[in-house]
Structure 1
Amino acid sequence: MLKIATIGGGSSYTPELIEGFIKRYDELPVSDIWLVDIEEGREKLEIVGALAKRMVEKAGVPINIHLTLDRREALEGADFVTTQFRVGLLDARVKDEKIPLKYGVIGQETNGPGGLFKALRTIPVMLDICEDMAEFCPDAWLINFTNPAGMVTEAVLRYGAVKKVIGLCNLPIHTKIRIAQVLGVEPERVYIQFAGLNHMVYGLNVFLDGENVTQKVLGILAGETSSDIDVKNIPDLGWEPDFIKALGVLPCPYHRYYYQTQKMLEEELEAVKKEGVRAEVVKKLEADLFELYKDPNLNVKPPQLEKRGGAYYSDAACNLIASIYNDRRDIQTVNVRNNGTIAGIPDDSAVEVNCVITKDGPQPIHVGALPVAVNGLVQQIKSFERTAIEAAVTGDYHKALLAMTINPLVPSDTIAKQILDDMLEAHKDYLPQFFSRAHS
């Protein structure tokens, strides 16, 4: 019987995860799920934990749900640890998205300055969790869903006390399902060769029943149906059809921030006037969700959760755990150590690629060189990520400034310094590594 520990158990996503384990109980005999959170998340933990217990009871499966604020108690003897936490809660995300806009720069949760600061806050906490895992469950797999998933996973690979870590994002599975819907077929008939970085991943080739249909899919994407492929949390502004044909590979929705920077910035500025930044929208969505979750008669995952932007999370997370446990050797897209999988990226860096999932973990499928059209942007983002991770671990102000400046969404070194200083002050409570020593 298996023990699962979920760090950030009070998340609005937790019902998705519980549903995933319930659906797979016959192949994944989970006996105990420990949901752990911090004091500030106690109320949400109790609400979502009560819903989880009702879901398990309705399903009639013998899974015990435990709620705790003691991380070490949750980790003791765990077989799998899943992480889905947000340092500074949604208030920190509001700052990540609002402050860059003051300087005419996109504010986004995992890209640009916002992504940098989410990494700076999150990586030290994740490395602390790894220290606890090394003590209390050294053989457990760490399944990281915490954003920015690629950077957080790489930080563990390079600096963590545990090495059995896999980064996970719902975007590849979401894309596969959406492409299948557009093609009018079942998802299992579609195979996409994904390669790149988290939120910077490309579909190099799309296959239907083994036949390469990449050009057909790109034709659809260049037409009027691209909204069928996008995600809830990123505006669908359409693509320039000739650009998509020229690119020759399938972009992900996050590429809009890089290929449509001005349009996305204008869209954000307009949205701020109407409903606030995305984090403020999510705050309202979460408030509504938790009101739903409180209903003692609710004993299933409510469909409203899909508006939150995390659709297919349970399928991604639970499929991965089930495949490791059962040595299924199926192919999934995850964040793993590169080890030569993509040419030109350091071996110890995290990449997002298709892997064969075995009982010993993911075995990456060799990619080689990325197409010239996309390699440069991927390399620039990887330089940003590696520098940002070093800044997070060391608290080095100059590393943080360098990371901010080389990010393609930041237009100059001067603006980079202004945003950095503003955001360091705004997030001071969650960045002790930068304030334990003087910086200039």
Structure 2
Amino acid sequence: MNSEKNKSKPSRFIKRNSLLTDLFENDHIKTVYHLFIATFIGLFVNTVAYDYLKKGEVVLGLKLIKSGFGKLHIALLVWCGYFLVTCSIYYIFKLWATYRNFHKLQVTKFWDWFWITLLSLYYIYSFKFAAYVVTEFKLPPASSAIVVLEQTRLLMKIHSFIRSNIHKPHSDNPLKLPPFSNFLYFLFVPTLIYQETYPRTAKINWKFVLLRLLECIAVIFYLSFVIDRFLNPTVQDFGSRKYTLNELILCIFENTTTGIFFLLPTFFLVLHSWQNLFGELTRFGDRLFYSDWWTCTDFSGYFRKWNIIVQSWLYLYVYKDFNDNVFKGNTTLSKLAVFLISAVVHEWVLTYMFGFFFPLLFAEFLVFGTIFNYVGAPKTAAFNVLFWYALALGMGSLVTMYGIEYYARANAPVERPSFREWVVPRFLTCDCIHVS
């Protein structure tokens, strides 16, 4: 990777605020924050009026939230199980480190490969178990997201901890693991990169914690309003009546604004409010969770700046490992490995979050993402506008097509679907598109 890209990959942690935290100190920039609050109030009033005048009831988006977070207790129980198993990994790793130092070379190699095999099997069956839980208990989307995303996050934490502490082959010194308290702290801090110590704040600012918590709740309601008032009316009849091809295309263009209404609050919820909430609770000092992706003019910069937490993990444990050990300096193949693994995991999450296989994000991420990663653009206002429209169109197509597929399967279900019916998009086989 070139030097410009390496600038977005910090080699160490330092004490700093999230970019938006600092920007909101400026009264002019803070107006944007106030604009979103005003938009939230507008959506709230709009939803109340719509529910009361058209439906004769006022649900305030609670119906959608309640259905999305249904069977939440199962998701939380599964998380507790994952957490306990993750904690046990520390002691299993300690067992490996302790006994390998007393073995001869040949026995040590066998000992290492034995535990590497077990660890690999755990990675595989961790994904399989999460898939089994959300499928067997028919968890709705939000509860499923908790299971699959937390399973993935904890797995990335385990990998980071092991990779950071593993004994170097040329060293004769016994491997000494940090205390369990370090590992436990690492499981909750908002980073996927393990190190012995992190910069920490002097104390917890409970006002800051409360504001971030209120933001999380508000954004969940915001997204519920957007789905209920903008997305659902355009796609919820799919499977119960025929759509023309023109209607289908029009839905995508109509939902470009809806796509932005999805993208910005989701970014704010996941990468600002939620990460800062846990950053403050754990007194974690480095809040560089994202950079100024909104100023980008191309997707190469966007991929580097959007989610620095995951991007740093991919760089250290996928790109560098593949580049150093597998492809021997071939940066192109190493980058492709990053995009492939990232696309597969993203698609796996969405598949079990929604309960169906619909690889549109996989195609956009792997094909367009890979191509756009090599396409630069001048740093001008015009190209920033084009970047934003491309982002809106891409997100609009995603929310529209995933919404259409969701309702096609809900309104035109198949009894005991075969494997083919599971992998082939239902909106193509339900005879719901009228081609004149």
Q: For the superposition of Structure 1 and Structure 2, which TM-score range results when normalised by the shorter chain?
A: under 0.3
Q: Larger Cα Rg: Structure 1 or Structure 2?
A: 2
Q: Taking structure 2 as the reference length, what is the TM-score of the superposition?
A: 0.25
Greater share of residues in strand = 1
Query: Which one scores higher on RCO, CA 8 angstroms, separation ≥ 6?
Result: 2
